[in-house]
Structure 1
Amino acid sequence: MNEAARPDLAATGLRRPDSEPAYDRIAFVASEAADAVEARAILVARYGSVAPEDANVVVALGGDGFMLQTLHRFRDTGTPIYGMNRGSVGFLMNSYRVDRLHERIASAQRVVIHPLMMEATDANGRLHRAPAINEVSLIRQSYQASKLRIAIDGKVRLEELICDGVLIATPAGSTAYNLSAQGPILPIGTPLLAITPISAFRPRRWRGALVPDRAHVEVTVLEAEKRPVNATADHFQVLNVVNVSARLDPTSSMTMLFDPDHSIDERILREQFDY
């Protein structure tokens, strides 16, 4: 079913098809962690493996950081990623089990995520573009607090925010850095972005905002030479930025597979009730 037939879901950045394809060509990729490397060897011996470019499903073994790297690697290929946790937190991962892998993948829920696209202009006037699955963040580089101006869809909403930084988080990233910065948790499928300050000094009472995920968020760095700021889209960093914008890119997508008894919706509920 094409996106035009389901505009409501396309706008949310998430799509759950009614039927699932058969996955018979598995590629196993692993982080450099010993547990992940060992797990890959066990699974390849059990199930065999094809090259990632020939696979119709990729099994990623590691933690959340490796899952983000894998999602970026296979962005816009249409190849779904089924993660198994061989790291620490593993919020984006399924549990690691060797048995019944084909059955687990076949019954998994398919979730399509659209990333934020960051456009950052540095002090030399160079424009940098990078996608973010979790968040776009701006962080001070020096001992002095940053001064930032925030505009939404071309209209300035906050003239000056004095802070350590600010981030724009997707629902998928709302339980990551955003949650650590006291930002709200957004259930997957919510058509919103969270704008969350990091250690705000002025205005003291501003705790952030929720905006539609179709919004164009723009952050201008004030006193950029005196108060340098860097910008990051997931793991891609730009130093000495003067202006950063972020908006959802509906033309780009990544696909994740989750066990139905441990879905990402369930994990988000657990995070909110702290268990």
Structure 2
Amino acid sequence: MTFERLHFVASAVELAQSSMERLIARHGQSPVDEADVIVALGGDGLMLSTLHATQHLPAPVYGMNRGTVGFLMNEYEERGLKARLATAEPAVLNPLRMRATTAEGGLVEALAINEVSILRSGPQAAKLRILVDGKERMAELVADGALIATPAGSTAYNYSAHGPILPIGADILALTPMSAFRPRRWRGALLPKAASVTFEVREPGKRPVNAVADSTEVRDAVRVEVESRPDIAHTILFDPGHGLEERLIREQFA
């Protein structure tokens, strides 16, 4: 496939901005709603924000690392960009939907490509009741929090919390506790992608929590529902041999 109309976005750091200026000088800048591909220059944070901002557009996103980790990005190279795009391999990601009810009765919905996290916001550990498809699976988890991660997000916050790395094509989600106090030895669970997970916050006045879907934070959440949205698809492009599947396997042997 050929990509003629390119739209560039970049993070605010000087390195990314100067790189974007040079690439626009080489390839021009098409309007984002007319572009064949969106080229994101920065780190994983920029990639996530770009995917969220352009999910209504058909153009895939190709990232080049001008940030730090860059797990979702390709190596930066100014020359031969269109040739790289022509041979790039797509990876399709389905986000999670978070529906968070607040202590005041508000309802906030947000999408997460990496994970939805439930985090204590006070000095005491959170107490969470966990239901899967409406059935109670854990009456009380006492921990700093818990998260639901997609395969794409399994190497991010989930991995730092000692959760499993999931193959990119796996139809499963990782439910991972953070610093679990009780049950002390509980390491989490693997759930079908179609599962609906609900967290009910116990003693929210004494043990307040925040719910976070990627970068969208909801304070003083008392109930958080999480489910996959297979009807929403984000397409990321990777250089051949360096796609998400290869990166996820390689990460496990690092």
TM-score where L is the length of structure 1: 0.91
Within the candidate set 26, 31, 39, 1:59 is matched to: 39
Q: What is the aligned-residue identity percentage?
A: 55
1:85 to 52, 55, 65: 65
* CA–CA separation in structure 2 for the residues paired with 1:272 and 1:251: 30
Residue-by-residue CA offset, 1:131-188 (whole Å, 9 max, x unaligned): 0000000000100000001010000001000000000000000000000000000010
In the alignment, what sits opposite 1:265? Answer: 245
Q: 1:200 aligns to what?
A: 180
The one of 121, 125, 133 equivalent to 1:141 is 121
Secondary structure at the residue paired with 1:103? helix
After superposition, give the CA deviation of every residue in 1:74-97 in whole Å (9 maximum; x if it has no partner).
113221000000000000000000
Cα deviation, residue 32, structure 1: 0.4
CA contact (8 A) 1:78 1:254 kept: no
Distance in 2 (CA, whole Å) between partners of 1:259 and 1:159 is 45
Match of 1:190 among 170, 184, 187: 170
In 2: Cα distance, 1:47 partner to 1:76 partner: 24
State the distance in 1 between where 2:81 and 2:2 align: 13
- Alpha-carbon distance in 2 for matches of 1:83, 1:116: 21
Deviation at 1:264, TM superposition (A): 1.2
Number of residue-to-residue matches in the alignment: 254
Alignment match, 1:23 = 3
Deviation at 1:47, TM superposition (A): 1.4
Q: Distance in 1 between matches of 2:51 and 2:199?
A: 26
What is the match of residue 44 of structure 1? 24
Match status 1:168 vs 2:148: yes
Counterpart Cα distance in 1 of 2:182 and 2:93? 34
Question: One-letter code of the match for 1:240?
Answer: D
Are the equivalent residues in 2 in contact too, given 1:117–1:246 (CA < 8 A)? yes
Shift of 1:22: 2.6
1: CA distance, partners of 2:114 / 2:11: 19
Is 1:237 the counterpart of 2:217? The answer is: yes
Give the letter for the 1:158 counterpart.
Answer: M
Instruction: Detail structure 1 runs of 4+ shifted over 3 Å in the superposition.
Output: none
Q: Distance in 2 between matches of 1:123 and 1:89?
A: 36
Which AA in structure 1 matches 2:54?
A: F
- 1:44 is paired with a residue whose SS is helix
* Cα separation, 1, equivalents of 2:206 and 2:216: 23
Amino acid at match of 2:248: I
Q: Which residue, out of 71, 75, 85, partners 1:105?
A: 85
- Name stretches of at least 5 consecutive residues in structure 2 with no aligned partner: none
The aligned amino acid for 1:247 is E
**Alignment partners' CA distance in 2, 1:150 and 1:23:** 46
CA RMSD of aligned residues (A): 0.8
Partner residue of 1:126?
106
Distance apart, 1:270 and its partner CA: 1.5
Distance in 2 of aligned mates of 1:50 and 1:107:
21
Q: Does 1:218 align with 2:198?
A: yes
Residues 91 and 243 of structure 2 are in contact (CA less than 8 Å); yes or no, is this contact kept in structure 1? no
